[in-house]
């Protein structure tokens, strides 16, 4: 079979990649929000006998905040922009219902504290918007789920390499349901693997027959999971396949797309140098915007801290006496030490022997009120002072103690790479994973941290900040 006489079929534009599906979700939700806004305006205008949407009605009668309802709806749905959650019907219904209830609650707060007369507030129109946007979003998300869980809309993928990294990827795919794409099979040059199954997927050939396998199985994508040396013939076949429209992607990249993590167990030193020296350089504009956001967020958080200080202090004092706060040395950017400030949640003498310990689920060292503060993350409110002083950021890896860093870096590869940025009050690891209390959990959390460092930008920071309240309400603290 020659390339000149047999052109490979290009994949359908409807067979979206994992990272493209989030864009489709946002576009669909935005359209639904605009339709719901138009319906709400029509109902409002009809009640006031403004059947036509003239500029006078839209400009003078409708308050500016009403036009932001579609954007607010997108923000409330932030947890449902995870492509894996988006294909689960139960998670979708729960997420939309929760968003509608939160939206209704926010309007109630505005209604009761607004200085405008009650009859000037668009109560019916807001109710119409919430009803329409909830129903239409359910319909749209149902269509999305039907489409992107159907085999005909899934991309057909060939895995090249059945070694350790390939096996790790297949195990991840087996844990995801529904699967993000269809695995047509595995290509591996090891003669011992010919005809066998690896994690339930068959080895269907070697690199010498790659082009024929691609054509036979209508492959749209190839994942390369080879960490060692690649044969020249296989490399040329991959180039030929790419020329024919097949997408080639390396295992670390698809791992990132699927999990939002960096696979540190299967990375080589040169990849780390490329990713975290060359690719993580950010512009001065981003650093400036990030610092401005930190200052504004630090001021807002500082106000909340001061407002709640008397109540939290009294609760701690009545439960376990003084001190109210505690200060501890943490490692900042570049390993520079600084003193973190938190409410005290542990009993006095929790580490009397001087040995640092992991926080555990329902840690027996925590006081009664301390458990509540940790689960709700209220104990972290004083850290806004660290943000204002420039020692921390709103978003970044969790601040860690130098003693634990010395321990972790002997067991966890590339652990010190997380010190390339300032630690944060919240972060990509915190909203996706939470606390770690074992070496294995520390590895997973580091994978999230390195993903953030490698891909950080202002939009990712805002996405993390928007997801943080749901994490706090979910009481993931320890």
Distance CA 365, CA 370 (A): 9
Average pLDDT over residues 82-111: 88
Model confidence at 435: pLDDT above 80: no
Indicate whether 428 and 328 sit together in one domain.
Answer: yes
Mean pLDDT along residues 292-310: 95
Helix (H, G, I), strand (E, B) or coil at 203: strand
Give the pLDDT mean for 95-112.
Answer: 89
11 within a domain of the structure (yes/no): no
Residue 398 pLDDT level (bands cut at 50, 70, 90): very high
CA nearest neighbour of 313 among 364, 379, 395, 257? 379
Using the predicted structure, report yes or no on whether residue 237 has a pLDDT greater than 70: yes
Average pLDDT over residues 287-307: 95
Strands (E) across 312-456 are located at 325-331, 337-343, 393-395, 424-426
What is the pLDDT at residue 143?
Answer: 93
Domain boundary among 122, 148, 174: 148
Q: Would you place residue 266 in the very low, low, confident or very high pLDDT band (cuts 50, 70, 90)?
A: confident
Measured at the CA of 50, the angle between CA 48 and CA 55, to 5 degrees, comes to: 125
Query: DSSP readout, 165-176?
Result: HHHHHHHHHHHS
Considering the domain architecture, whether residues 144 and 161 belong to the same structural domain is answered as no
**357 pLDDT band (50/70/90 cuts)?**
low
Does 311 have pLDDT greater than 50? yes
Mean pLDDT of 429-442: 85
Q: Is residue 8 part of a domain?
A: no
More confident call, 231 vs 258: 258
Q: In what order do the strands lie in the sheet with 182-187?
A: 197-198, 201-205, 182-187, 156-160, 221-224, 247-250
What is residue 189's predicted lDDT score, i.e. its pLDDT? 87
With respect to residue 12, please indicate whether it lies within any of the assigned structural domains. Answer: no
Asked, for residue 276, whether it belongs to a domain, the answer is no
Q: Characterize 169-205 residue by residue with b for buried, 16 or more Cβ atoms within 10 angstroms of its Cβ, and e for exposed.
A: bbebbeeeeeebbebbbbbbbeeebeeeebbebebbb
Residues 255 and 299 in one domain: no
> Which range, 134-138, 240-244, 325-329, 347-351, has the best average confidence (pLDDT)?
134-138
- How crowded is residue 299: how many other Cβ atoms within 10 Å of its Cβ? 12
pLDDT at 397 over 90: yes
How many structural domains are present in the chain?
3
Strand 197-198 with 201-205, pairing: antiparallel
Q: What pLDDT is attached to residue 414?
A: 85
- Residue 411 in any domain: the answer is yes
- Is 171 found in the same domain as 218? yes
Q: What is the predicted pLDDT for the residue at 18? A: 75
Average pLDDT over residues 123-151: 91
Q: Which pLDDT score, from 0 to 100, does residue 222 have?
A: 95
Mean pLDDT throughout 389-396?
95
Same domain (yes/no): 307, 445:
yes
What pLDDT, on the 0 to 100 scale, is given for residue 416?
Answer: 87
Q: How far is 343 from 8, CA to CA, in rounded Å? A: 63
Contacts of 303 (CB under 8 A, 6+ apart): none
CA 469 from chain center: how many Å? 13
Query: pLDDT confidence of 117, banded at 50, 70, 90?
Result: low
What pLDDT is stored for residue 8 in this prediction? 47
Are residues 58 and 170 both part of a single domain? no
Closest CA to 248 of 258, 261, 230, 235: 235
The residues near 404 (Cβ < 8 Å, ≥ 6 apart) are 356, 358
Any idea what the CATH number is for the domain that residue 176 is in? 3.40.50.20
Domain enclosing residue 65, as ranges: 18-148
State yes or no: pLDDT of 322 exceeds 90: no
Q: Does 308 fall in a domain?
A: yes
298 and 215 share a domain? no
pLDDT of residue 108 exceeding 50, the answer is: yes
CA nearest 326: which of 305, 340, 310?
340
Please list, in sequence order, all residues whose beta carbon lies within 8 angstroms of the beta carbon of residue 394, skipping any fewer than 6 positions away: 293, 294, 297, 298, 387, 424, 425, 426, 461, 465
Q: Say if residues 422 and 399 touch (Cβ distance below 8 Å).
A: no
- In this predicted structure, the answer to whether residue 203 has a pLDDT above a threshold of 90 is yes
Question: Taking the model in full, what pTM does it have?
Answer: 0.84
pLDDT of residue 152: 78
Q: Choose between 441 and 5: higher pLDDT.
A: 441
Domain for residue 273, yes or no?
no
Predicted confidence at residue 6, as pLDDT, reads 46
pLDDT at site 310: 94
Say how many C-beta atoms besides its own lie within 10 A of residue 249's C-beta.
Answer: 14
Rg of the chain taking only CA atoms, in angstroms: 26
Any idea of the CA torsion for 149, 155, 159, 165, to the nearest 10 degrees?
A: -50
Burial class from Cβ neighbours inside 10 Å (0-12, 13-18, 19+) for residue 393 reads buried
Predicted local confidence at residue 1, as pLDDT: 40
Domain boundary among the residues 148, 179, 214 is at 148
Of residues 290 and 88, more confidence is placed in: 290
Within this chain, do residues 333 and 431 fall inside the same structural domain, yes or no? yes
With a cut of 80, say whether residue 10 has pLDDT above it. Answer: no
Say if residue 141 is in the same domain as residue 71. Answer: yes
SS3 178: coil
pLDDT at 11 over 60: no
In this predicted model, what pLDDT tens digit does every residue of 25-34 receive, in sequence order?
999 999 999 9
Q: Residues near 38 by Cβ (< 8 Å), separated by ≥ 6?
A: none
- Of 113, 148, 183, which residue sits at a domain end? 148
Closest CA to 71 of 107, 34, 108: 34
Give the pLDDT confidence score for residue 458 in this predicted structure: 92
Contacting residues for 456 by C-beta, under 8 A, at least 6 apart:
280, 282, 286, 421
Residue 5 reports pLDDT greater than 50: no
Q: What is the mean pLDDT of the chain?
A: 85
* Nearest alpha-carbon partner for 60 in 70, 50, 69: 50
Contact (CB, 8 A) for 121 and 111: yes
Percent of the chain, pLDDT > 90?
Answer: 45
Complete DSSP assignment for 204-270: EE-GGGHHHHHHHTT--EEEE---S---HHHHHHHHHHHHTT-EEEEHHHHHHHHHSS--GGG--HH
- Report the distance separating Cα 254 and Cα 260, nearest Å: 9
Q: Is residue 382 in some structural domain? A: yes
The verdict on 79 and 159 lying in the same domain is no
For residues 433-460, average pLDDT: 88
77 and 203 both lie in a single domain:
no
Q: Do both 310 and 249 map to the same domain?
A: no
Residues 37-65 pLDDT 10s: 999 988 887 765 544 556 677 777 788 88
């Amino acid at each position: 079979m020659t390339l000149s006489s047999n052109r490979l079929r290009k994949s359908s534009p409807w067979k979206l990649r994992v990272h493209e599906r989030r864009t489709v979700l946002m576009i669909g939700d935005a359209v639904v929000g605009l339709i719901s806004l138009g319906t709400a305006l029509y109902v409002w205008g009809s009640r006031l006998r403004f059947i036509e949407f003239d500029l006078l009605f839209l400009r003078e009668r409708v308050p500016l905040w009403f036009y932001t309802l579609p954007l607010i709806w997108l923000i409330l749905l932030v947890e449902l922009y995870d492509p894996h959650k988006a294909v689960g019907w139960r998670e979708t219904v729960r997420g939309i219902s929760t968003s509608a209830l939160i939206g209704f609650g926010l309007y109630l707060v505005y209604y009761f504290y607004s200085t405008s007369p009650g009859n000037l507030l668009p109560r019916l129109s807001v109710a119409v918007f919430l009803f329409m946007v909830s129903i239409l979003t359910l319909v749209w998300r149902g269509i999305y789920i039907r489409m992107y869980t159907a085999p005909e809309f899934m991309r057909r993928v060939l895995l090249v390499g059945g070694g350790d990294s390939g096996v790790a990827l297949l195990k991840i795919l087996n844990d995801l349901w529904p699967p993000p794409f269809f695995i047509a099979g595995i290509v591996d040059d090891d003669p011992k693997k010919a005809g066998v199954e690896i994690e339930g997927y068959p080895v269907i050939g070697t690199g010498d027959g790659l082009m024929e396998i691609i054509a036979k199985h209508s492959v749209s994508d190839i994942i390369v999971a080879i960490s060692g040396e690649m044969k020249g013939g296989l490399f040329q076949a991959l180039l030929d396949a790419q020329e024919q429209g097949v997408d080639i992607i390396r295992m670390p990249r698809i791992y990132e797309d699927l999990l939002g993590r960096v696979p540190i167990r299967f990375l080589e030193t040169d990849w780390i140098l490329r990713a975290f020296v060359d690719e993580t350089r950010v512009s001065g504009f981003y650093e400036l915007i990030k610092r401005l956001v930190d200052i504004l967020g630090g001021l807002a958080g500082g106000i909340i801290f001061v407002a709640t200080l008397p109540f939290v202090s009294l609760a701690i004092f009545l439960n376990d006496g003084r001190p109210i706060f505690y200060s501890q040395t943490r490692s900042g950017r570049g390993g520079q030490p600084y003193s973190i400030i938190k409410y005290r949640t542990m009993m006095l003498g929790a580490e009397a022997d001087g040995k640092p310990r992991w926080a555990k689920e329902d840690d027996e060292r925590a006081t009664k009120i301390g458990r509540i503060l940790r689960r709700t993350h209220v104990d972290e409110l004083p850290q806004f002072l660290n943000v204002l002083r420039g020692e921390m950021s709103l978003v970044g890896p969790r601040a860690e103690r130098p003693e634990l860093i010395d321990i972790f870096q002997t067991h966890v590869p590339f652990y010190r790479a997380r010190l390339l940025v300032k630690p944060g009050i919240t972060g990509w690891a915190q909203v996706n994973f939470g606390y770690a209390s074992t070496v294995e959990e520390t590895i997973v959390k580091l994978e999230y941290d390195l993903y953030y460092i490698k891909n950080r930008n202002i939009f990712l920071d805002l996405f993390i900040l928007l997801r943080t309240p749901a994490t706090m309400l979910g009481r993931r603290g320890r």
